[in-house]
């Protein structure tokens, strides 16, 4: 009897423990986690060294039930300039309807169209009575020029109508041409992207065909932390919109601010592959949104002062602040990383973190491509080719030195191929592909 009671008590304890762990887990499951790693754990002692700090944010999976996810505040901005006539506009309409149908009655939907002027076809409103909205979309026809800036501005104005309601704000911009009314420099639209990201509005850009300005579209997406797509075949538009909306529907954190501080004499030198603020020993990176289950990371090159044998020193502290869609509050999580120092070369080389090193290669390759394209834009073809070749050399030897898997080596070798295509002159479509892919790589975009 005593034994039975004892067993019962044990089982009860185990059950309670399990339940407690599950409950604890369920709380933890809805939080963003932060990991900080170095490209190697052990550094040569007594010499200053350059290290790469990788801060990884792991987003929790999206809410399981539709009513748990935060409402979406979506504004689709469609180009209806003359060049969109025919299949392009028809597919864009289908894509917009596809997006609209994925929304629920709690979400807001707006549709702005532009040619040389801007028109709000559907003002921001709950996506409840969709028949009227769909008929509006069906009735769309093509017009004249391309007032892209005005279109985005008006799309933003529609999103702003419901900005304070704890929604996921998103503009999807579709264009197939060069902006010719209003500000049309890529940097202008980039600045617009910065301003919008400060308001918590991300702009996803979808470029169709070979005629649009990919610099402008990627800048706008990049600076507002949205996605970017290059759609060569307009029949893919509905699929792209659906994928993009899948992303938006799974947003779990917004207004993400990543702060990395380097204590004990380490000093950040540059941020690889991302824009951010770098001052003294602090780096600040802003991300607009994190999607459920997504892993986003930032790489920071850090100067590590000389350390003595067997020293253990803190290299970086990371702090992530974000608006959680689960708790509807601003949450924060911290993590830090330490390095050790050793005279043993074997220990040093064995401590390499392959995953971080592979990311370094990938991000630097993407960066290299974008810089080469920029040089090419300025007519400095030779420099662009040399940049790609030099970086190929550097990254290949980095990959070889650290005995990285073949994938990294291939990524580095790809730069050689790019160099030869830049040398012979790349087509507009190749350029778009290169630009979009390198941005997607740098931004760790889910859908590509």
Partner 1 sequence: MKKWAMGLLGLLLIVPILAVGSLGWRLLQHEQKSRESLTRTVMQAQAEMLAQKLGGIAQRLERQTLAELAALPAKDRLKQLEALAASRPLYRQAFFHQPGRGLLLPSAGGPLTRDARDFLQRFEPFFSGRQPWEKAPQEREGRTYESDSLLEGCLPWFDQNQLHLLCWRRDPESQALFGVELELMCLLSEWAPCFANQPQGNFTAVLRDGEDQPIFQMGPSLQTEAADSASAPLGPGFPHWRVDVLSDGRPAGVRNLRIFYGLLLGSLLAALFSGEALLLWQARRHYLDAQRKTLFVSNVSHELKTPLTTIRMYAEMLEEGRVPEEGQRARYLHVIGEECRRLTRLVNNVLDFSRIEQHRRTYRPSRVDVAELARSLADQQELRCREKGVRLVREIPGEPVWRLTDRDALEQALLNLLDNALKYGGGEVRVRVSRGPGEAAVEVLDRGPGIPAGRREKIFEKFYRDDDTLTTAIAGSGLGLTIARGLLRDQGGDVRYLPREGGGSCFQIHLKENT
> Between residue 120 and residue 139, which ones bind partner 1 under the rule CB under 8 A?
120
Taking CB under 8 A as the rule, does residue 324 contact partner 1?
no
Question: What φ, ψ does residue 442 adopt, rounded to 5°?
Answer: -65, -35
Q: Cα dihedral sign for 370, 371, 374, 376?
A: negative
Taking CB under 8 A as the rule, does residue 198 contact partner 1?
yes
> Between residue 18 and residue 37, which ones bind partner 1 under the rule CB under 8 A?
none
Taking CB under 8 A as the rule, does residue 71 contact partner 1?
no
> Between residue 345 and residue 374, which ones bind partner 1 under the rule CB under 8 A?
none
Closest CA to 57 of 321, 323, 438, 364: 321
Q: How far apart are CA 238 and CA 231, in angstroms?
A: 11
Q: Is beta strand 277-279 parallel, antiparallel or unpaired with respect to 282-291?
A: antiparallel
Residue range at the interface with partner 1 (CB under 8 A); choices 208-216, 233-241, 274-282, 294-302: 274-282
Site size for partner 1 (CB under 8 A):
36
Q: Output 63 or 123, the one with its CB closest to partner 1.
A: 123
- Is-contact 319 259, C-beta < 8 A? yes
| Maximum pairwise Cα distance, the chain | 90
Q: How far is CA 124 from CA 71, 75, 149, 154, 243, in A?
A: 13, 7, 19, 11, 22
Among 45, 74, 137, 196, binds partner 1 (CB under 8 A): 196
H helix count then E strand count, the chain:
12, 16
41: helix, coil or strand? coil
Least CB distance to partner 1 at residue 300 (A) = 12
Taking CB under 8 A as the rule, does residue 119 contact partner 1?
yes
Closest CA to 248 of 179, 159, 356: 159
Closest CA to 61 of 258, 240, 326: 326
Closest CA to 358 of 410, 425, 422: 410
Q: Output 184 or 421, the one with its CB closest to partner 1.
A: 184
Least CB distance to partner 1 at residue 27 (A) = 29
At what angle are helices 381-401 and 354-377 packed, to 10 degrees?
170
Q: Output 117 or 349, the one with its CB closest to partner 1.
A: 117
Among 21, 195, 332, 400, binds partner 1 (CB under 8 A): 195
- Is-contact 426 420, C-beta < 8 A? no
- Is-contact 297 54, C-beta < 8 A? yes
Among 188, 295, 416, 430, binds partner 1 (CB under 8 A): 188
Among 77, 118, 203, 404, binds partner 1 (CB under 8 A): 118
- Is-contact 227 445, C-beta < 8 A? yes
Q: How far apart are CA 359 and CA 368, in angstroms?
A: 14
Least CB distance to partner 1 at residue 139 (A) = 17
Here the tokens at position 387 are: 């940049």
Least CB distance to partner 1 at residue 104 (A) = 27
**First CA to last CA distance, the chain:** 64
Among 53, 96, 181, 245, binds partner 1 (CB under 8 A): 181
Least CB distance to partner 1 at residue 437 (A) = 23
Taking CB under 8 A as the rule, does residue 247 contact partner 1?
no
Taking CB under 8 A as the rule, does residue 183 contact partner 1?
yes
Q: Which residue has the tokens 């479509």?
A: 429
- Output DSSP code: residue 225: T
Least CB distance to partner 1 at residue 75 (A) = 12
Least CB distance to partner 1 at residue 181 (A) = 5
Least CB distance to partner 1 at residue 156 (A) = 6
Taking CB under 8 A as the rule, does residue 177 contact partner 1?
no
Residue range at the interface with partner 1 (CB under 8 A); choices 179-187, 312-320, 334-342, 440-448: 179-187
Q: How far apart are CA 110 and CA 74, in angstroms?
A: 6
Question: What φ, ψ does residue 91 adopt, rounded to 5°?
Answer: -70, -35
Residue range at the interface with partner 1 (CB under 8 A); choices 111-119, 211-219, 408-416, 434-442: 111-119
Least CB distance to partner 1 at residue 180 (A) = 9
Among 275, 309, 377, 401, binds partner 1 (CB under 8 A): 275
Binding mask 139-158 for partner 1 (x = CB under 8 A): ----xxx-x-xx-xxx-xx-
- Is-contact 176 206, C-beta < 8 A? no
Q: Output 278 or 426, the one with its CB closest to partner 1.
A: 278
> Between residue 87 and residue 106, which ones bind partner 1 under the rule CB under 8 A?
none
Contact residues for partner 1 (CB under 8 A)? 115-120, 143-145, 147, 149-150, 152-154, 156-157, 181-183, 188-189, 191-192, 194-196, 198-199, 269-270, 275, 277-280
């Amino acid at each position: 009897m005593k034994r039975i009671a004892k067993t019962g008590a044990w089982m009860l304890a185990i059950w309670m423990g399990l339940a407690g762990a599950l409950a604890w887990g369920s709380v933890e499951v809805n939080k963003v986690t932060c990991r900080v790693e170095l490209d190697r754990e052990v550094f040569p002692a007594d010499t200053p060294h350059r290290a790469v700090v990788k801060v990884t944010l792991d987003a929790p999976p999206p809410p399981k039930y539709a009513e748990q996810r935060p409402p979406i505040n979506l504004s689709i901005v469609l180009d209806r300039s003359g060049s969109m006539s025919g299949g392009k506009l028809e597919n864009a309409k289908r894509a917009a309807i596809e997006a609209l149908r994925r929304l629920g009655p709690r979400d807001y939907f707006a549709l702005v169209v532009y040619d040389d002027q801007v028109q709000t076809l559907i003002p921001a409103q709950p996506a409840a009575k969709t028949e009227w909205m769909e008929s509006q979309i069906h009735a769309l026809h093509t017009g004249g020029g391309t007032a892209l800036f005005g279109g985005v501005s008006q799309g933003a104005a529609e999103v702003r109508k419901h900005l304070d309601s704890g929604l996921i704000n998103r503009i999807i911009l579709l264009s197939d041409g060069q902006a010719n009314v209003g500000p049309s420099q890529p940097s202008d639209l980039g600045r617009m992207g910065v301003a919008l990201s400060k308001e918590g509005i991300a702009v996803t850009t979808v470029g169709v065909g070979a005629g649009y300005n990919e610099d402008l579209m990627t800048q706008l997406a990049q600076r507002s932390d949205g996605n970017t797509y290059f759609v060569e075949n307009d029949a893919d538009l509905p699929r792209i919109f659906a994928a993009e909306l899948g992303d938006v529907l799974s947003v779990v954190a917004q207004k993400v601010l990543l702060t990395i501080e380097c204590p004990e004499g380490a000093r950040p030198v540059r941020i690889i592959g991302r824009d951010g603020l770098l001052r003294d020993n602090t780096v600040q990176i802003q991300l607009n949104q994190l999607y459920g289950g997504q892993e986003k990371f930032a790489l920071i090159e850090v100067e590590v002062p000389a350390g003595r044998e067997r020293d253990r020193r803190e290299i970086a502290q990371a702090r992530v602040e974000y608006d959680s869609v689960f708790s509807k509050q601003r949450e924060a999580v911290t993590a830090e990383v330490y390095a050790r120092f050793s005279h043993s070369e074997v220990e040093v080389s064995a401590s390499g973190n392959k995953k971080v090193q592979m990311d370094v290669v990938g991000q630097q390759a993407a960066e290299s491509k974008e810089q080469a394209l920029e040089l090419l834009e300025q007519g400095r073809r030779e420099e662009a080719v040399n940049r790609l070749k030099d970086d190929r050399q550097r990254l290949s030897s980095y990959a070889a030195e650290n005995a990285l898997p073949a994938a990294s080596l291939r990524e580095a070798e790809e730069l050689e191929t790019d160099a030869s295509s830049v040398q012979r002159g790349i087509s507009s479509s190749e350029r778009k592909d290169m630009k979009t892919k390198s941005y997607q790589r740098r931004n760790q975009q889910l859908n590509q």
